[in-house]
Structure 1
Amino acid sequence: MTLAETVSQTVNDGELQRFIEKHRRLFVLTGAGCSTDSGIPDYRDTNGGWKRSQPVTYQAFMGEELTRKRYWARSLVGWRRFGKALPNATHHALARLEQLGKLALLLTQNVDGLHQQAGNRNVVDLHGRLDTVRCMGCEHRSPRHALQQTLLELNPAWARLDAADAPDGDADLDGHDFSNFTIAPCPRCGGLLKPDVVFFGENVPRDRVATAMQALEAADAMLVVGSSLMVFSGYRFAHATAKAGKPIAAINLGRTRADSLLSLKVERSCAEALAFL
């Protein structure tokens, strides 16, 4: 790192601290960059592009049995580490922000539940939670860890496989024949099980958006932490904040969709930028 870059980061750190101190009620939106230090990979590069193939779509998951088999096979392997992930310094810093009474709401695009593990209580999981499984027939919800045991019992040969981690509990199981994988049915009605998360091509529940927008109206500034905001479900809140004439600060390594709307941008890791908390 050059001297100029070091000075720039120091200035940004001071500006970020002043931004947080100045605003009484912050609307915080978090993304994958919050959880990379917990061992959960992110989706995008510093230019906002995909690092790997795009995630499975809702339409493909619901309409194609082989897609569901592929998803659950990869999830069986990926859940071993994802299910044991722990909060990192970024999560603890944002929990401290809530303890200080500075948080109007923490809206997270992540599905890992690590903000709640760190102590945040005023959280909306915009895209749902991966630790819960939903039946698309009877709407029964059940714990993901219980499904893991069922999948292992149904697919003992797959239990011995390992692979590199991919975002959101996925694993890079390339080159395998997924046709012989057995999917577990709903334990209550025998219906189709899906993680209780919003897939690409699926709509975010209206009540979550409404709750977040209400909190945004009560906030006096927005803080984006570890999100490129490339997905509209998150970007809409930055757009609404700017339209309301409220300032936005962002911590993100690389480009965001809302760069032109920002009052302050800090291009550092989330944990480093929020270390003062």
Structure 2
Amino acid sequence: MADLLRHRGPALVLTGAGMSTESGIPDYRGPDGSRRVTPMSHQEFTASGDNRQRYWARSFIGWQRFTAAEPNVGHRAVTALQRAGAFGHVITQNVDGLHQRAGTGDVTELHGSLEEVVCLTCGERADRDLVQAFMADANPGFATAVLGHVPDGSQVSSQIRPDGDIVLPDEAVRAFTAPRCLVCRADTLKPDVVFFGGSVPKERVDLCFALTDAAPILVVLGSSLKVMSGYRFVRRAAAHGIPIVVITKGPTRGDAETTHRIDAPLGVTLSALAADFSHAQTA
């Protein structure tokens, strides 16, 4: 892989939820690629106020732990490899902002970012921290009341998901006051991210296709490629004869298209790759 990057880089990089597991944000899927948890879908979120109340109650708790996550050694290695010229533009399926916090530049957030909230009724946007503060004021003592009271008996912090959601019992959710838009007062505030079942904006997809078409190599990090929103770029690269390198744990949907594959933890593998490039530059 190092030889390929030296001769053909800088690579276009596509990252998935596995990129952030070493930061304490678990993936949606187990080692065999099967889904461990089912997140709320776009259709479910937009269907009723009760569903949105459930989402925001769970997300209110999850956000406190989600924002405490720090970039891991894998994130920092991606930054180092980008600065060394091995990696170029990064397309991430993650909504946690950890690539940017690690210093990586030229990042396209395919599924958006949890840091901004949009009203589906009037289009008003707000900073997520501001919405979090509103929810804290409207729900005093809520976080303390639900701590430790989750269906499997574990601490709430063990339930964090890649979208900042967690698991809460229904009786706790019913007592939660969901946020409303400050402009139109509708209860249709939504994180500015693509939920399962939703669509990535066309202009963003077109940008990522253009980046794929121009890429000398596509490197996939921490994704099972089960979701078409990311897998389509692997298919596009394969159709154009572009080498595809995958580093992740377990099988992927794109194994048939993969040129080079490493089934290994990302942190140690990317750190070794970054060290290889650093050594070559100083030799």
- Residue 267, structure 1, aligned to residue 263, structure 2: yes
Q: What SS class does the counterpart of residue 214 from structure 1 fall into?
A: helix
CA distance in 1, matches of 2:82, 2:205: 21
Please point out which of 151, 167, 170 is paired with 2:165: 170
Q: What SS class does the counterpart of residue 274 from structure 1 fall into?
A: helix
Letter in 2 for 1:155: N
Query: 1:207: which partner in 2?
Result: 203
Query: 2:36: which partner in 1?
Result: 51
Aligned-residue Cα RMSD (Å) equals: 1.3
Q: What SS class does the counterpart of residue 196 from structure 2 fall into?
A: coil
Q: Deviations over 1:102-131 (max 9, x none)?
A: 334200000001111111120110000011
How far apart are 1:177 and its partner, in Å? 4.1
| Count of aligned pairs between the two proteins | 261
Query: 1:62: which partner in 2?
Result: 46
Letter in 2 for 1:137: T
Q: Gaps spanning 5+ residues in structure 1: where? A: 1-15
Between 183-192 and 37-46, report the one with greater CA deviation.
183-192
Q: Deviations over 1:48-77 (max 9, x none)?
A: 11112x111111111121111111111111
How far apart are 1:207 and its partner, in Å? 1.1
Letter in 2 for 1:50: R
How far apart are 1:142 and its partner, in Å? 1.3
Instruction: State TM-score, norm by structure 2.
Output: 0.89
Query: 1:84: which partner in 2?
Result: 68
Do the aligned residues in 1 keep the contact of 2:91 with 2:108 (CA within 8 Å)?
A: yes
- Residue 142, structure 1, aligned to residue 126, structure 2: yes
Do the aligned residues in 2 keep the contact of 1:105 with 1:212 (CA within 8 Å)?
A: no
Query: 2:101: which partner in 1?
Result: 117
- 4+ residue runs of structure 1 moved beyond 6 angstroms? none
Q: What SS class does the counterpart of residue 174 from structure 2 fall into?
A: helix
Do the aligned residues in 2 keep the contact of 1:104 with 1:218 (CA within 8 Å)?
A: no
- Residue 182, structure 1, aligned to residue 182, structure 2: no
Do the aligned residues in 2 keep the contact of 1:95 with 1:120 (CA within 8 Å)?
A: yes
Do the aligned residues in 1 keep the contact of 2:213 with 2:236 (CA within 8 Å)?
A: no
Instruction: State TM-score, norm by structure 1.
Output: 0.90
Query: 2:153: which partner in 1?
Result: none
CA distance in 1, matches of 2:6, 2:116: 36
How far apart are 1:274 and its partner, in Å? 0.6
- Residue 34, structure 1, aligned to residue 19, structure 2: yes
Letter in 1 for 2:257: L
CA distance in 2, matches of 1:175, 1:201: 23
Letter in 1 for 2:25: I
Q: Gaps spanning 5+ residues in structure 2: where? A: 148-155, 275-283
Do the aligned residues in 2 keep the contact of 1:40 with 1:165 (CA within 8 Å)?
A: no
Query: 1:226: which partner in 2?
Result: 222
Letter in 2 for 1:235: Y
How far apart are 1:264 and its partner, in Å? 1.0
Letter in 2 for 1:172: V
How far apart are 1:159 and its partner, in Å? 2.4
CA distance in 2, matches of 1:104, 1:208: 17
How far apart are 1:19 and its partner, in Å? 2.8
Query: 1:18: which partner in 2?
Result: 3
CA distance in 2, matches of 1:201, 1:78: 21
Please point out which of 239, 251, 255 is paired with 2:251: 255
Do the aligned residues in 1 keep the contact of 2:58 with 2:173 (CA within 8 Å)?
A: no
